[in-house]
Amino acid sequence: MRRRVTVRRPKMSPDQTRMIDDPRPVLWIGTGTKTGKTVALAQWVVEGVALGERCAWIGPWFKRTRTGFEHVAGAYAATTRAGLTRARENDLSLTFPKTGGHLECFSGDNPDSIFGEGLNRVVIDEAGRQPAGVLAAVLSTVTATRGKVRIAFNLDRGRRHWAVAGLLAARSGSDASHGAMTMQTAASPYVAPEAIALARRTLPDRVFRALYLAEIQDDAAGVFRGISDCVAGDLEKPRPGGVYVLGVDLARTLDWTVAVVIDVDRKAVVGFERFHGLPWVEQRRRIQALAEAYNRAHVVVDATGVGDPNAEELIRAGLNVTPFVFTSASKPRLIEALIVAIEQRHFTFPYLDDLVNELEMFEYELMPSGAVRYAAPDGSGMHDDCVMALALAYHGAFGAVRESHGFLRLAARAMAAREARA
C-alpha cells in the first residue's frame, strides 16, 4: 500500500512558491540568472516523490542533469541513510518504496530515451540548451497520467527558439492548460543588490537585460550576436606587401590547436588551420610555416601553462611573437573585445563550420564573485579553441599589440619590393 509522506518545504521566494504551486499542467518559466529556479524545481520533485509520483528531471547534458539529481537526493539524504529511500549515483535515480515515488533522470541530447515512460511530474531544466524534440517526448509521458511539466530556462535565446516561443504562446492565454511566468534576478534572494549594480555597469546591455531582468530578446542574447553579418569571402593566399596577424590557441590532447590569420588591411580572416594530438615540435613547425607564408605574420600565441615554453621556442625560431596568458581577468577582456567587433562588423570571416558553430554555442556564466565566465557549454563536448584563436588574432590585429604593425608594415613592403626586383 502506498502512503503519503509529509515533507517540510524550505523558505521560498514568492516566485519560487508560484513555480511549485501553479496548478496548470504545463508551466513555462523564463528566468534571469541565480533566481533559485533549480532549488524550486528540485523541491517540486521532492514533494512529488513524497506523494508517490513518478518524476523525471531532464537536463541538456548528463553533467548538468546531475545538478537536479543532487538537489533532490540531498533533500532525501537522511531517509537514504536510514534505508527508507534508495539513491543510485550510477543512473541518477531515487526510489521511495514507502510511497512508491520515484525520480529518473534523462539527458536532453537523446529525446528518444524519454518516450514510453508514464510520468506524473517532469522538469525540463535549461530548456534553452535542449532540442525541440524534448518537448514532444515529455508531453507523451504525461498524457495518460495527466501529469505536469515545468519548462525552465534563462532568457538568453531569441524569440524563435522553441522554449521562448512556447513562453510567449502561453503568455497569450490561448491555451488554458499552459501557464507562463518570468523570474527577475532583482527579486531573487540569492543575489545581492550590489552584484546586480555591478553587472549593470559591466555587462553589455542586452546581456544584462536577458540575464538579470528576464527580458525576452528579439535576437539571441548569447555571447556573440551578428555572426551571420560577419560571414563573407573565402580563405586566401597571402598578398605581396600584405600585413597579417596570426592568433594561435594551443592544445595537445584533449582540445584542438587552432591558428587564425587576419589580413589587417582588409580586416578579414584569410587563413585557418585546426589540428589535434600532434607533438609540440610538429605543432610549432606548422605554426612557423603558416606565419612565414603570410609575410612573417605577427603571432599572438596562447602562453598559458604548456603554452609558455612553446611561445619561447617560437621566439627562438625567429618569429615575431606576443605571448598571451589567459587569466580570470584577461580572458573576459579578450572575449568582450571580440563581442563588440562582431556586433559592429569590424572584420569578416569565411563560413567555417567549426568556427561558426563555436561562436554560436559560446556562452557566459555568472560566477559567485560577480565576474562573468566565457566558455563553451560545460559538459556539451563542444570546444572553444576556434573562438580563442580568433580573439587572439583580433587582439593582435586591432587591439593592444597593434603598435607593432608600423614595423611589420615596413617589413612587408620591403619584402614585396625585394620580390618585385627579383
Residue-wise pLDDT tens digits, 187-206: 887 888 888 888 888 777 77
pLDDT tier, 282 (very low <50, low <70, confident <90, very high otherwise): very high
Q: What is the pLDDT of residue 202?
A: 75
pLDDT at residue number 255: 80
Residue range 389-396: mean pLDDT, rounded = 96
Catalogue the long-range contacts made by 277-280 (C-beta closer than 8 Å, 24 or more residues apart). 277/252, 277/253, 280/252, 280/306, 280/310, 280/313
Mean pLDDT, the chain, integer:
87
Specify the pLDDT at position 242: 94
Query: Quick check: 59 and 107 in contact, CB under 8 A?
Result: yes
Is residue 415 scored above 60 in pLDDT? Answer: no
Q: Is the pLDDT of residue 295 over 70?
A: yes
Closest CA to 208 of 40, 370, 384: 370
CA 366, chain centre distance (Å): 11
Average pLDDT over residues 260-267: 96
What confidence score (pLDDT) does residue 30 get? 94
The pLDDT score that the predictor gives to residue 414 is 44
Question: What pLDDT is recorded for position 406?
Answer: 46
pLDDT in tens, 85-138: 999 999 999 999 999 999 999 998 888 888 877 999 999 999 988 988 999 999
Which cell numbers hold the place of 190? Answer: 540569492
Helix then strand then coil, in percent of the chain rounded to 5, is: 40, 20, 40
Mean pLDDT for the stretch of residues 345-374: 81
Average pLDDT over residues 294-311: 90
The DSSP secondary structure of 234-297, one letter per residue, reads ---PPPTT--EEEEEE--SSSS-EEEEEEETTTTEEEEEEEE-S--HHHHHHHHHHHHHHTTS-
The packing angle between helices 307-316 and 280-293, to 10°, is: 50
Residue-range domains of the chain with CATH: 14-192 (3.40.50.300), 227-418 (3.30.420.240)
Please tell me the distance from the alpha carbon of residue 239 to that of residue 331, in angstroms, as a whole number.
31
Question: Beta 54-59 vs 101-107: how paired, if at all?
Answer: parallel
Q: Tens of pLDDT along 39-76?
A: 999 999 999 999 999 999 999 988 889 999 999 999 99
Q: Which set of grid coordinates corresponds to residue 90? A: 550510477
In sequence order, which residues have a C-beta less than 8 Å from that of residue 21 and are 6 or more positions away?
none
Among 35-39, 49-53, 152-156, the least confident range: 152-156
What global pTM score does this model have?
0.62
CA distance 185 to 170: 22
Distance CA(116)–CA(118), nearest Å, equals: 7
First-last CA distance in the chain: 95
Helix (H) or strand (E) holding 183: strand 178-183
Neighbours of 224 (CB within 10 A): 21
| pLDDT band at residue 368 under the 50/70/90 scheme | low
Confidence of residue 32 (pLDDT cuts 50, 70, 90): confident
Closest CA to 37 of 107, 125, 149: 125
| 277 contact partners, CB below 8 Å, separation of at least 6 | 252, 253
Query: What pLDDT shows up at residue 401?
Result: 47
Work out the pLDDT band at 400, boundaries 50, 70, 90: low
415 sits in which H/E element: helix 405-421
User: Cell numbers 580568433 correspond to what residue?
Assistant: 390
What is the distance of C-alpha 419 from the center of its chain?
47
Cα 200 from Cα 372, distance rounded (Å): 12
Q: Which residues pair with 322 in a beta bridge?
A: 300
Question: What distance in Å separates the CA atoms of residue 409 and residue 70, rounded to the nearest whole number?
Answer: 57
How buried is 127 (Cβ within 10 angstroms: 0-12 exposed, 13-18 middle, 19+ buried)?
buried
Per-residue pLDDT at 405:
45
In the chain, % of residues over pLDDT 70:
88
pLDDT digits (tens, 9 = 90+) for 310-354: 999 999 999 999 999 998 889 988 998 999 899 899 999 999 988
All three cell numbers of 208, joined, read: 544584462
Q: What was the pLDDT predicted at 349?
A: 97
Q: What is the pLDDT at residue 375?
A: 77
Residue type at position 254 = L
Confidence of residue 186 (pLDDT cuts 50, 70, 90): confident
Would the pLDDT of 413 be above 60? Answer: no
At 204-256, the pLDDT tens digits run 777 788 778 888 866 555 678 889 899 999 999 999 999 999 999 998 667 88
